[in-house]
Structure 1
Amino acid sequence: MKAAAITMVHKDYWALRQWYRHYSGALGAENLFVVAHGPDPVVQEICPAASVITIPRDRLQGFDHWRGRLLNGIQRGLLEIYDWVIRTDADELICVDPQLWSSLPKMLAAQEASAIFALGVNVFAPDEASGSPLYQGVFSGHYSKAWAVRQPHDLRRHGVQVRPRRLAEFPYCMPHGVYLAHLKFANRQAATEMADIRTEVAGAEGSGTPGKAWKQAHQEMAAQYAALADLPLSPWEKAEAAAWDALQSPVRDEGISVLRSKSLRFDSRVHLPDWFPPRGD
């Protein structure tokens, strides 16, 4: 069984280091493919043994649509060579519970479905006020995304797009013990630096620049940490089981023929197990 991983990135260096370290350890760096949005020698420095594809950064108009088509095209091409293709953002890591799966490739090899979802976890940096070294997490339906395919299905709107006649019966596969760790807020310094970049990009002149969420990136970061502090702390096992169960009735969007997870919000936080990424700086 042979698997590849692809991502697209612009300057998110801390997250990209995590992505490269994680997937090169799981799959081998020679099986990693990074699309650099704009010339950036730092990307190759961070990912020295990966294949880096540089594309121009001269058009943001319609970004989400053409980005999706581009990555779906690369994904389909890689499936001519690989059994599975993993696709996540640079700040998203797929991790597995070592008590259930000995490795990510072995988990993939055990799956019969042609597309896989993972239970999403928003990861937050340790609480500086308490002095605890433990990362915190909040389970997320929004980030319970489709992340790997072994057949040429397009990924769209955090789900998998299939032919309309197959949508009703297409299997929603979210294996136990498989998680999508979303690292946007897992490092406070990196989150602040990326908020600066998003604010700058959103404030640029011309059409097609990102909207309100990017213009208010610092406010969003502050709001996320404030909301986290207000959530009660639950044991990992209890909160994980409740979140997994709640997501087992997916959305089958007939308008765009996409199967996706419900965008549920969960009302507790957890301390992450010690095997959960990230690992240092």
Structure 2
Amino acid sequence: MQTVAAAVTMVRDDAFFLKAWLRHYGRLFGRENCYIINHGRGPEVAELAQGCNVIGIPGDPHPNFDMKRWRLLNGQVNGLRSYYRHVIVGDVDELVVLDPAEGNLLDFLAQQPMRRVLTPVGLEVIHRPELEALGAEDSILGPRRHLRLAPHYSKPCVVSLGTKIARGGHFTQASKLFTPEGLYLFHLKYCDFPQYVAAMDRRNRVTEEVGVGVKQAAIGRHWFGEARGEDRALFEAFAEVPIEEGFDFSRVRRRMHRSWKPRGETGYWQFDRPDVQKQYLLPERFFGLF
């Protein structure tokens, strides 16, 4: 049984994203090294996650949902570090990916020094409905090959150091930044238009059940209907994002390091996360990873 890496997430009803998460980490690490917190004890989540370590918790709506969620995830990560060299933690629609040109993610992590937090470059997998068919149920990369640069999703999510992760997973209290070449975080929120609509409908229902506004809740603003906008217009706008030649993010990593600094007096560290409008074509060597 391997003890190099484990993956941890929390999920509620998001079967489409959970299937991709399981295809990716289950295949790489083995399901016995995947830890899934089943928020609300959904039977579909339990069924899909057979062979994984599933922890069922109550799903009652709460205005401090994100604070409670990351308190639990921090505890899981710090506990599992006693048994694994590295623990990957994040939302179910976020997958840490190693460029296949650099090898296998598990082998890569086995060679990484410990007592670090690794920060992949964030890229959003986007669906271009005018170019790509609807539906990506069995495989996402390949049917989807357009990526948008997403500094907000360059998250410090590969942990082998005792540290605290901030709500949302965007910052940690680790004072050194490590951004290995070829390591990415693929955010899947926009990877399929029908799945996006369905997921946003579910999130809007959750915030309606909570019964408070954005300012009164510790829940991401994007979960609220008032911040949603028009779904189809959002996806149509992807066509306007300029396409960059190649697939080289060395300048992005250098900018992250140049802007690295304490996040005020919070104890957390950060780099600048500019709103950069750039789109890339995914090289074929990534196709079929999940």
Q: Deviations over 1:199-220 (max 9, x none)?
A: 2122225346647532146526
Which amino acid letter does the alignment assign opposite residue 161 of structure 1?
Answer: Q
For normalisation by structure 2, the TM-score amounts to: 0.85
Structure 1 position 24 matched with structure 2 position 36:
no
Matched with 1:35 is 37
Q: 1:205 to 1:85 in 2, by over 3 A?
A: closer
Long gaps (5+) in structure 1: 163-169
Which amino acid letter does the alignment assign opposite residue 48 of structure 1?
Answer: Q
Distance in 1 (CA, whole Å) between partners of 2:265 and 2:230 is: 30
Structure 1 position 242 matched with structure 2 position 251:
yes
How many residues in Structure 1 have an aligned counterpart in Structure 2? Answer: 270
Distance in 2 (CA, whole Å) between partners of 1:266 and 1:79 is: 34
Matched with 1:78 is 80
Question: 1:160: how far off?
Answer: 1.4
Which amino acid letter does the alignment assign opposite residue 254 of structure 2?
Answer: D
Matched with 1:107 is 108
Question: 1:227: how far off?
Answer: 3.4
Q: 1:273 to 1:217 in 2, by over 3 A?
A: farther
Structure 1 position 130 matched with structure 2 position 131:
yes
Q: Provide the secondary structure at the position in 2 that maps to 1:232.
A: coil
Matched with 1:266 is 276
Q: Provide the secondary structure at the position in 1 that maps to 2:209.
A: coil
> Which of 144, 161, 181 matches 2:173?
161
- Alpha-carbon RMSD: 2.2
Long gaps (5+) in structure 2: 134-142
Distance in 1 (CA, whole Å) between partners of 2:67 and 2:230 is: 24
Q: 1:278 to 1:139 in 2, by over 3 A?
A: farther
Q: Deviations over 1:185-235 (max 9, x none)?
A: 112221111011112122225346647532146526445424322111112
Question: 1:68: how far off?
Answer: 1.1
Structure 1 position 195 matched with structure 2 position 207:
no
Matched with 2:181 is 176
Q: 1:205 to 1:50 in 2, by over 3 A?
A: closer
CA contact (8 A) 1:153 1:161 kept: yes
Distance in 2 (CA, whole Å) between partners of 1:64 and 1:222 is: 28
CA contact (8 A) 1:139 1:243 kept: no
Higher strand proportion: 1
Question: 1:278: how far off?
Answer: 6.7
Question: 1:262: how far off?
Answer: 2.2
Q: Higher mean Cα deviation, 2-11 or 228-237? A: 228-237
CA contact (8 A) 1:122 1:138 kept: yes
